[in-house]
Amino acid sequence: MTEEVTRVVPDDCLICVQDLHTRLGNRKILNGMDFSVKKGETFVIMGGSGGGKSVTLKHVIGVFRPDRGRIIVDGHSVPDLDRVALMELRKEMGYLFQSGALINWLTVFENVALPLREHSKLSEADIRDRVLEVVSLVEMEHALDQYPDSISGGMKKRAGLARALVTGPKIVLYDEPNAGLDPVMSETINRLIVDVQKKLGVTSVVVTHRRACAFTVGDRIAVIERGRIVDQGTQMEMRNSSHPLTMKFLSPHVD
């Protein structure tokens, strides 16, 4: 059971995480995680490996339940939802995995179409139209008939992003979108995240350890250490921050 937290959820908060505590096995992963994300905003969480960044995303989407604290997404208390209600809420969220997480025996088109085929009643013609729309957004039209093992890591990320967007989500969660990519492709993915936010008006949470990603996509940036946020602010505020961990992660010499 999660403990009730009496703090008020701000009216403009689409994602609100309050005093989140979680143990996995004998290890405490989240230790008072606390942040809010406004509608249409891109919120970046930075930090070292094992600090709780990806675990935080999994709480937002309801894969993990906290030992204590609250997660409110679009007015719903995520830990308190039953399976059916949670599946309905997840239809409003897209998730880009670190690896892209494409299914190897399906083409790019089939991978992107999968959420619609599983969770909508659209006709095949409407599914094709929607897939072509989002694939065009990420510039992958030329690879519709290819399989994941025949495309590059950057193309897998773009196809994964198209799949995350195909249901028209309000919220997109990005787990290390630059992982395994060279600087040129990383910049391409960063720009796609910005384009998606501008064109579709989605609300985004981006987990990354890369400075270039944070300063390209983030409206606000937070730094996490040992399962809690130790510093956060706008890009300008974080550039001027004197917090030692912020200076470490956001130094121009680190990426």
**How far is residue 247 from each of residues 49, 196, 221, 242, measured CA to CA in Å?**
17, 29, 13, 7
**Annotated domain spans of the chain:** 39-54+87-249
> What is the strand order of the sheet 13-24 is part of?
27-38, 13-24, 68-73, 76-77
Q: Let me know: does 178 contact 186? Beta carbons within 8 Å.
A: yes
Going residue by residue through the chain (255 aa), what tens digit of pLDDT does each one get? 344 445 666 667 899 999 999 998 888 999 999 999 999 999 999 988 777 889 999 999 999 999 999 999 999 999 999 999 998 899 899 988 876 678 899 999 999 999 898 888 888 999 999 999 989 888 888 889 999 999 888 888 889 889 998 888 999 999 998 888 888 888 888 998 998 898 889 999 999 988 899 999 999 999 998 889 999 999 999 998 888 888 887 766 555
C-alpha–C-alpha distance, residues 235 and 252, integer Å: 13
HEC secondary structure over 199-247: HHCCEEEEEECCHHHHHHHCCEEEEEECCEEEEEEEHHHHHCCCCHHHH
DSSP state of 47: -
- Quick one: tokens of 140? 């992958």
Q: Let me know: does 252 contact 211? Beta carbons within 8 Å.
A: yes
Q: What is the pLDDT of residue 98?
A: 74
Q: What is the pLDDT of residue 151?
A: 87
C-alpha–C-alpha distance, residues 155 and 174, integer Å: 16
Find where tokens 């998730």 sit: 95
Q: Give the CATH number of domain 39-54+87-249; options: 3.40.50.460, 3.40.50.300, 1.20.140.10, 3.40.50.970.
A: 3.40.50.300
Which residue, 75, 5, 14, is CA-closest to 33? 5
Q: Let me know: does 49 contact 211? Beta carbons within 8 Å.
A: no
C-alpha–C-alpha distance, residues 93 and 221, integer Å: 21
Q: What is the pLDDT of residue 1?
A: 39
Instruction: Enter the pTM of the model.
Output: 0.88
C-alpha–C-alpha distance, residues 203 and 197, integer Å: 7
- Quick one: tokens of 203? 């609300």
Q: Let me know: does 15 contact 73? Beta carbons within 8 Å.
A: yes
